Amino acid sequence: MTLNPQYEDIGKGFVQQYYALFDNPANRNTVATFYSETDSFMTFEGHQIQGATKILQKIQSLTFQKITRAITTVDSQPTFDGGVLINVLGRLQCDDDPPHAYSQVFVLKQGGGSFYVAHDVFRLNIHNSA
């Protein structure tokens, strides 16, 4: 496969679609369909998970309802296997909690005529010193 020239649009489009589902508690579970049953990895706050089923369990274990999100930047790169690497920087607010900065990296890969999330790394940007 070759580089996908649409990587920028794919990155932005994916992020928008993904968070629209994730941030609404009624639709959150459907983000599991973005992941492969075997070929997806998620690292959520250092906790490593493989496969759509376990990823869904993780998502369902989150205790907040609504997320209000402000995306600062979405940086994308094409990968040599036709996929897209995406780095998101933003802030999120769970229900009435104070807002937190976070970063999330996705790697999209092509499979079965569409993209799936092969890698997903999420962290809140909180530090050991002020």
Residues 14-33 that bind another protein (CB under 8 A): none
* # binding residues, another protein (CB under 8 A): 21
| Residue 49: CB minimum distance to another protein, A | 13
Nearer to another protein, 1 or 70 (CB): 70
Q: Is 64 in the site for another protein (CB under 8 A)?
A: yes
Residues 6+ apart with CB under 8 A from 57: none
On the 0-12 / 13-18 / 19+ scale of CB atoms within 10 A, 105 is middle
Q: Which one among 1, 16, 24, 62 touches another protein, defined by CB under 8 A?
A: 62
Q: Is 70 in the site for another protein (CB under 8 A)?
A: no
Supply the DSSP string of 59-98, one letter for each residue. Answer: HHT-----EEEEEEEEEEEE-TTS-EEEEEEEEEEETTSP
The site for another protein (CB under 8 A) is made up of 44-45, 47, 62-64, 94-95, 97-101, 123-130
